[in-house]
Amino acid sequence: MRRASSLLAFAALFITAIVGITYAIRRAAEQHRVHATPPHLKDSEDGLAPSGWRYNKDDPKTNRPVVRLYASSMRVTNNPSAFELHGVALKLYNKKDANYTYIKAENAHFEERSEVMKSDGPVSIVMNVPVDKDAENKDELAKRVQVQTSGVTYDTKTLKAQTDQLATFIFPNGSGKAVGVEYDPNTKLLHMKSQVVLDRNGMHVETSDLIFNEAEQKIYLSPWSKLQRQTMNIQAQKSVVTLIDGKVHQIDSEQPKGTDDRKGRHVEYSADQMVAHFDDDGNMTEVLGSHHARVLSSQERAQTVITGDQADLHFELEQKAGKDTPDSYLQSVTASGNAVAESSPIEQPGVTPTETRILRSETIDLDMKPGGQEVQEIRTLQKAQLEFKPNRPEQVHRVLDSSKMRIVYGAHSYVDTFIGWNVATRTDKPVTPGQKKAPSPAFTWSDDMTAKFQPNSSEIDHIEQRGNFRYQEGTRKASSNKAILEQKINRITLIDRAKVLDDTGSTSGDLIVMDQSNGDMDVTGKVFSVRAPEKNQKPGTSMLDETQPLQAKADKMRSRDDNSNIFYDGNVVMWQGANRITADKIEINRDESVLHASGNVISELVDNQKSAPPPDGKAAAPAANPIYTTVKAPDLIYHDDTRVALYSGGVTLLRNTMTVTSKELRAFLTPKANNNSGDSSLDHAFADGNLVVVDVLGPNHTRTGCADHGEYYTKADKVILSGGQPQIVDNIRGITKGPKQITYFSGDDRLMVEGEYQKPAFSKMIKK
C-alpha cells in the first residue's frame, strides 16, 4: 500500500492520454472545416492518411514540447461527422520538460454529435519517462510505471472517462488491476468498480469497489477489503485510506479482522472499528480498535485472548539480513474499558494442562519480547482481578484482587513472576473423595505480593506476601508482617509478628512454619500459645486446670500429627489459671495423655479452696487463702490417665510451711469428677531417695524428717516417713526415731511412731 495515491493515479493516466488525443482531433477537425483537405493530408477516396498523421504542440512562451501525437492513419467522415485514428502514439510532457508520459492505443473514435470519444482496442501508458529516453526500450520500460487497459470512453462535455474492461498496472515494486474504471476530473474522483487488486512494496490490497478522492487524498474501499503485508492480514467491511503527500498515513475500517502468522506464534485482532497508522515507508506502526476489541496471541503451549472496549496495538520494525524491507512485528497491546486477558493452556500429548488465567481490569498492557514471538509482560495500573480456573478436578480455584499488578514472562511465554499490590486472594479447594462437602475457602490479604513460577512451567513455585499479611480458612486465621507459601511442598512461613489462631486457641512468635499437608507447625522466637479448654474433655485429662485456657511461652515450639504432639523448647513457661510449669523443654503427647518437662522444671499447683455454703439469709464467707504446691526437679513426666506426675533427678517440693527434698517424687493430683472439674490440686505425693522434710511450725521452730521414703496427704496434712531408719528432729522438742515408720500431722503436734519386733522406737526429749 506504499505510495497508494500514486498507484491509484496511475489508473487514471489513460484519461489524461485521451484528453490529449481529443485535443489533437479537435484541432484537426477545425482545420478540416476551413480547408477541404487538411494541409498535411493528401487527397484520397476513403480519407485515410496513407503515410501517417502527426500533431505537435509546443508552449508558445518557452517553445518546449507539450504534446507529440502520431497516428498510423486517420479518417474523417462527414455524415455523421466523425474521426478515426489508428495506431496512436502520444507523448505528454510535464511543464518542466524533464519527463513525459507515453500513451499507445490501437484506435480512437470521436463523434462530434455525441462529443464522445472511444477507444475499443488496447490502451497502454508508460509514466515518467526521461525526455532523453525511449519508452519502447525494454530496459527503460522495466524502470517505469505501466498501465494497460481497453474499451475506454471519454465524454468531452462532462470530461468523464471510463472503461468496463480490465485495467492492469505494472511498476518496479509491484502491480495492480481492476475491472471497470471511471474518472471524473470535475470532482477528481477515480472509481475502480470491481475485482481491485494492488501490490506494492510487499503490501497486497484487495477490494470489490475502490473510490479515490484526489481532493481529500482518501481512498474508499467497499463493501469489503483485504490488506496483506508479510505475515499480516486484515479483512474488513468498509475501509478508508488516508494519504499524506501521496503516502499511506491511516486506514479506518469497519468490522476488521486481522491475523499475523509466524513460526511458533499466531495473532488475531478484531473490533467494530479500527484505525491503522503507517510510517513513510508503508510499514504499519499502530492499530487502534474500538468497541468489542479483541486480540488473540497463540504460542506453542498457551493462548492469550485480550478483550476490551478499546485496543491499541503497537508494531516494531526489525531489519533482517538479506531483506530489503524490515519485518513488522507486534510489540505491545493496550486494552482499555472493561479489559480482560485470558490465558489458557493448549492441549499437548503427555502434558498435564495448567489452570486458565483470567485477568480483569479497566486497562491492561501487554508487551512482547523483541521479535514478537513471545510475551514479555502483562501489567495493570488500576484495580485488577486475576482468576485461576481449574482445568483438572484436583486443581484449586483461586481469585486474586489487587490495586495493580504485573506479570513477567520467562522463556516460551511461561509466567516467571507475578507482582501485586494491596492484594486479597480467595482459594477454593476441590471436594476430595470421601468428603461430603467442599472445604472452607481460604482468604489472604497483604500490602503486596510476589509469586515465582517454576521454570518452563505454569506451576507456582512460591508466593511471598509482605505488609500486614492476614489469612483465614474457616475458623483458622493467621497474620504476620510477611508470609511465604512454597507451593510444591505446600508449606507456609510467617515472618515477623506471626500468629495463628482458631476456635481452639492461638500461637504467636517471630517465625511460624506450617506444613499445609499434615498440619505440622514450627514456631521460633518469643513463642506464645493459648489453647482453650476442650468442651468434650473427659474428667482427669489436664495436669493444670481444665477450666482455664492453657497458655505457654517459649523460645521455640513444634506441633506435630494434627496438634497431637507439641514440643516447647527454651525458657518454657506453661500455665492454666494460677497453675504453671516452667522448664527448659516441655513435650505434650495428647494421644497418650503424657506431659514431659525437662531441664530446670518448676511446677506450681494451687489448691482451689472453696467456701462452705452460707446459711439461709447469711452472706457467704470468703474463701480461704489459696495454698500453692511448688515442685522443682530436672525432669517431670505426667500421665494424664493416672493423674500422676513423676519428678526425678533431685526434687524439691514446697507447700505452705513444708519443704520436701528427695531423689524422686510422685505427685498424685486430685481425681476429677463433675463436682470438682476445675480442681487440679495436689491430693498426695510419694517421695523416695534421701528424703528430707522440713516443716516450719513457727518462729524459730522447725521439724525435720529424714527417711528413704515419704508420703504426704494434703487433706489430712499428714506426713509418713518410712525406710532407712526414719527420724524426726524437732529443734525444740528433740529427736524421734522409728525403725519402721513415723507418722505426723503438720497442722498439730500429733506424732505416731511404729516400730518392729525387738526394734523399739527411740525418742530423745530436750529439757527446757
pLDDT band at 240 (very low <50, low <70, confident <90, very high): very high
The more confidently predicted of residues 584 and 324 is: 584
Contacts of 663 (CB under 8 A, 6+ apart): 648, 649, 650, 651, 688, 689, 690
Q: What pLDDT was estimated at residue 257?
A: 92
Q: What is the pLDDT of residue 614?
A: 59
Q: Check residue 335 and give its pLDDT.
A: 93
* Number of helices followed by number of strands (H, E) in the chain: 3, 47
The mean pLDDT of 724-745, rounded to a whole number, is 88
- The fraction of the chain above a pLDDT of 70, given in percent, is 83
Q: What is the pLDDT of residue 620?
A: 55
Element (H, E) at 141: helix 138-141
Average pLDDT value for residue range 521-541: 75
Residue pair 684/605 in contact (Cβ under 8 Å)? The answer is no
pLDDT value of residue 455 = 84
- Give the residue with greater pLDDT, 688 vs 25: 688
Amino acid at the residue 349: P
Query: In this structure, what are the phi and psi dihedrals at residue 26, rounded to the nearest 5 degrees?
Result: -60, -40
Q: What is the mean pLDDT of residues 487-501?
A: 90
The 3-class SS string of 551-620 reads EEEEEEEEEECCCCEEEEEEEEEEEECCEEEEEEEEEEECCCCEEEEEEEEEEEEEECCCCCCCCCCCCC
The overall average pLDDT reported for the chain is 81
Whether the upstream peptide bond of residue 626 has omega within 30° of 0, thus cis, is no
Residue bearing cell 516417713 = 721
- For residues 132-141, average pLDDT: 88
* CB within 8 Å of 743: residues ≥ 6 apart: 718, 719, 720, 721, 751, 752, 753, 754
**CB-CB contact of 306 with 341 (8 Å):** yes
CATH class of 254-439: mainly beta
Convert the pLDDT of each residue in 692-721 to its tens digit: 999 888 888 899 999 999 999 988 889 999
420-459 pLDDT per residue, tens: 999 999 999 888 777 778 888 999 999 999 999 888 776 7
d(CA 356, CA 732): 90
pLDDT of residue 39: 36
Tell me what the mean pLDDT of segment 193-200 comes to.
88
pLDDT single digits (tens) 612-644: 455 565 555 555 677 888 999 999 999 988 889
Residue-wise pLDDT tens digits, 344-386 = 887 777 777 778 889 999 999 989 888 777 788 999 989 999 9
Distance CA(481)–CA(468), nearest Å, equals 5
In DSSP terms, 510 is beta-bridged to: none
What's 440's DSSP letter? P
Cα–Cα distance measured from residue 304 to residue 269, given in angstroms and rounded to the nearest whole number: 12
pLDDT at residue number 221: 92
Q: Work out the pLDDT band at 538, boundaries 50, 70, 90.
A: very low
Of 33-42, 170-179, 253-262, 526-535, the range with the highest mean pLDDT is: 253-262
Q: Report which of 145, 140, 98, 139 is spatially closest to residue 126, judged by C-alpha positions.
A: 145
**Locus of grid cell 491511516:** 250
pLDDT of residue 362: 95
CA-based radius of gyration for the chain: 53
pLDDT score at 635: 97
Please name which of 595, 571, 574 lies closest in space to residue 585, comparing C-alpha atoms: 571
Residue from 288, 295, 232, 296 nearest 260 by CA: 232
Element (H, E) at 138: helix 138-141
Q: Please name the residues in contact with 670: beta carbons below 8 A apart, sequence gap of 6 or more.
A: 643, 676, 679, 680, 681, 682, 683
> How far apart are the C-alpha atoms of 649 and 760, rounded to whole Å?
34
Asked if pLDDT for residue 492 goes beyond 80, the answer is: yes
Judge whether residue 43 has pLDDT over 70.
no
CA distance 622 to 443: 50
What values do phi and psi take at 767, rounded to 5? Answer: -75, 145
The fraction of the chain above a pLDDT of 90, given in percent, is 34
Hey, what CATH class is 1-187 in?
mainly beta
Number of C-beta neighbours around residue 646 at 10 A? 18
Output the pLDDT for position 615.
58
SS3 assignment, position 411: helix
pLDDT at 766 over 60: no
Burial class (CB in 10 A: 0-12, 13-18, 19+), 645: buried
d(CA 446, CA 443): 11
Q: State pLDDT tens for residues 83-131.
A: 788 888 888 787 766 888 888 888 888 787 787 878 888 988 887 888 8
**Location of each CATH 2.60.450.10 domain in the chain:** 1-187, 254-439, 533-610+626-765
Taking only the tens place, the pLDDT of each residue in 212-238 is 887 888 889 999 999 887 778 889 999
Q: How far apart are CA 316 and CA 525, in angstroms?
A: 55
Strand partners for 609: none
Segment 33-40 mean pLDDT: 36
Residue type, 89: A
Q: Is 159 or 729 the better-scoring residue by pLDDT?
A: 729
Nearest to 739 by CA among 757, 716, 719: 757
CATH H superfamily, domain 533-610+626-765 = Lipopolysaccharide (LPS) transport protein A like domain (2.60.450.10)
pLDDT at 543: 60
**Mean pLDDT highest for which of 225-229, 490-494, 500-504?**
490-494
pLDDT band at 665; cut points 50, 70, 90: very high
Using one digit for the tens of pLDDT, what is the confidence trace for 252-289? 999 999 888 877 678 888 999 999 898 887 778 898 99
Q: Residue 186's pLDDT band (boundaries 50, 70, 90)?
A: confident
Q: Indicate if the pLDDT at residue 40 is higher than 50.
A: no
- Looking at 2-61, list the stretches that DSSP marks H as alpha helix, in order from N- to C-terminal side: 4-11, 13-34
Confidence check: pLDDT of 317 > 90: no
pLDDT, residue 623, reads 56
535 pLDDT higher than 70 = no
pLDDT in tens, 540-599: 345 666 677 889 999 999 999 888 899 999 999 998 887 899 999 999 998 888 999 999
The C-alpha atoms of residue 303 and residue 577 are separated, in whole angstroms, by 62
Reduced DSSP (H G I as helix, E B as strand, rest coil) percent helix, strand, coil of the chain, to 5:
5, 65, 30
